[in-house]
Amino acid sequence: MTGHEQTPDLLVSVRDLRFGYGSRMIYDGVDVDIRRGKVTAIMGPSGTGKTTLLRIIGGQWRPTGGTVLFDGADVHQQNRKALYRMRQRMGMLFQNGALLTDLTVFDNVAYPLREHTKLAEALIRDIVLMKLEAVGLRGARDLYPEELSGGMSRRVALARAIALDPDMVMYDEPFTGQDPISMGVLMRLIRSLNTSLGITSVVVSHDVEEVLSIADYAYIVAGGKVLDHGTPDQIRGSESALVRQFLEGRPDGPVPFHYKAPPLEQDLMGDAR
């Protein structure tokens, strides 16, 4: 695979990213490119920092080293006002949807428009109805989050994420806990909205086949490094043993089934301390 080139079609450029908690390194010199108008998947085993990467790109967390450029601007060199303006160009679909429980579906989607714009309420109404139409839930506008299924909640959250017509939408484990029908609907929405709205999508997930079926490019991360990157076909053909274990769901391999421990006999005899 080729290296990462700096080209005008890059919306996000991550270079030599370093981040950790104390002595534990989550990222240790990682490069990632997010290309405009494409669906980019960030995949890997649980606990490898996939969601952390989204928070760093969004400026919520600051790396200990390296740079993150969004449309050519260093995310972590922005003052608060500039960072807020930058974030308005980034939509976020949180893992649990994160809908405001005391607001209706309509008001949840309207919230970012009321918070960040001075649009007239009549125009906000039209925008909200169009966004809800795009995710198939215009008829649910008067319902509250507690009245929605899990799949419907994610779709409302997606409508809210695109309310401000962002340049990029980041999806944090969008398929977790979804039944096959809801998962299929969400997959189709991510792909179709990416195409119809011309947005850039970043999908963090460990649902291998689902994500690779809609992605244009994918990264496999683990152990603080990018293990492999490429098109879905290139990823499926990876020769990395750890990537193969992840893709095929093997219980044992480079990531062992057993956590490091002394021999069982020694432990049972009470000699291990």
The pLDDT value recorded for residue 71 is 94
Q: What's the rounded mean pLDDT across residues 56-63?
A: 93
The pLDDT value recorded for residue 132 is 94
Q: What is the C-alpha to C-alpha distance for residues 30 and 16, in angstroms, rounded to an integer? A: 5
Confidence check: pLDDT of 272 > 70: no
Taking each helix axis from N to C terminus, what angle separates 105-116 and 150-161, rounded to the nearest 10 degrees? 20
Confidence check: pLDDT of 255 > 70: no
- Show Cβ contacts of residue 138 under 8 Å, excluding neighbours closer than 6 positions: 129, 132
The pLDDT value recorded for residue 256 is 57
Q: What's the rounded mean pLDDT across residues 56-74?
A: 94
Q: What is the pLDDT of residues 97-152, one digit of tens each?
A: 789 999 999 999 999 999 888 999 999 999 999 999 988 899 999 999 999 988 88
Residue 14 tokens, joined: 């991550």
Q: What is the C-alpha to C-alpha distance for residues 114 and 65, in angstroms, rounded to an integer? A: 36
pTM of the model as a whole: 0.83
CATH H superfamily, domain 6-78+207-273: P-loop containing nucleotide triphosphate hydrolases (3.40.50.300)
Q: What is the largest CA-CA distance in the chain?
A: 75
Residue 195 tokens, joined: 């195409």
The pLDDT value recorded for residue 174 is 86
Q: What is the pLDDT of residues 11-57, one digit of tens each?
A: 999 999 999 887 788 899 999 999 999 999 998 877 778 889 999 99
